């Protein structure tokens, strides 16, 4: 087995499965119920998405180093680290690696990016960044995670895609323990 970057991570207690929230009339949730018909929505209707919904999408991503734990359990992601600007159609996610020398930071950031690209409407620009001061290579990791060409090249690497899919396999759990 490869050397662990953090052999003894701090695990936090997480909330239960995400709460279903009512969507104001005339608005559409990020998740459309299979029985709902959205054909009445015009192109001018926009989904109002908040940081809790984005957090709900990324909270259950499996940590690449600790496969029985989620990014939420390791306090790598949290709702307060997510900023959404509807005016600019921008989602910013800051994440905090468990140790300043974490060698999995780029993989974690890519997993967050891929999960959001697969889930959010295409109008959103997604920025993924390390929490300031949380990593010794912060600027280079941020540059890699937000450079379209570097991300595209990374997603063409079969070994990296396999690792990403391993992180994302738990995405449907959304707040439930991984070992259910």
Residue 109, burial from CB neighbour count under 10 angstroms (0-12, 13-18, 19+)? buried
Residue 105 domain boundaries: 51-173
Kind of pairing between the strands at 82-85 and 90-95: antiparallel
Number of domains in the chain: 1
Residue 84 lies in a domain: yes
Residue 78 lies in a domain: yes
Phi-psi region of 106 (alpha: psi -120 to 50; beta: other; left: phi over 0): alpha
CATH at 85: 3.30.300.130
Q: Which helix (H) or strand (E) holds 151?
A: helix 148-154
DSSP strand E in 13-171: where? Answer: 82-85, 90-95, 125-130
Residue 130 lies in a domain: yes
pLDDT along the chain (180 residues), means of 10: 59 54 37 44 64 95 92 95 96 96 95 96 96 96 96 95 92 58
Residue 79 lies in a domain: yes
Residue 144 lies in a domain: yes
Residue 112 lies in a domain: yes
């Amino acid at each position: 087995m490869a050397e662990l970057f953090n052999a003894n991570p701090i695990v936090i207690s997480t909330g239960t499965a995400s709460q279903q929230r009512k969507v104001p009339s005339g608005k559409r949730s990020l998740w459309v119920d299979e029985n709902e018909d959205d054909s009445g929505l015009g192109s001018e209707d926009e989904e109002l998405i908040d940081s809790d919904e984005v957090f709900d999408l990324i909270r259950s991503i499996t940590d690449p180093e600790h496969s029985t734990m989620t990014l939420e359990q390791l306090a790598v992601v949290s709702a307060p680290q997510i900023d959404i600007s509807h005016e600019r159609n921008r989602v910013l996610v800051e994440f905090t690696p468990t140790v300043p020398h974490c060698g999995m930071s780029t993989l974690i950031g890519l997993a967050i990016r891929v999960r959001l690209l697969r889930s959010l409407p295409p109008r959103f620009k997604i920025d993924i960044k390390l929490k300031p001061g949380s990593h010794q290579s912060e600027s280079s990791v941020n540059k890699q995670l937000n450079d379209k060409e570097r991300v595209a090249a990374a997603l063409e690497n079969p070994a990296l895609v396999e690792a990403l899919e391993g992180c994302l396999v738990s995405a449907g759990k959304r707040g439930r323990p991984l070992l259910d």
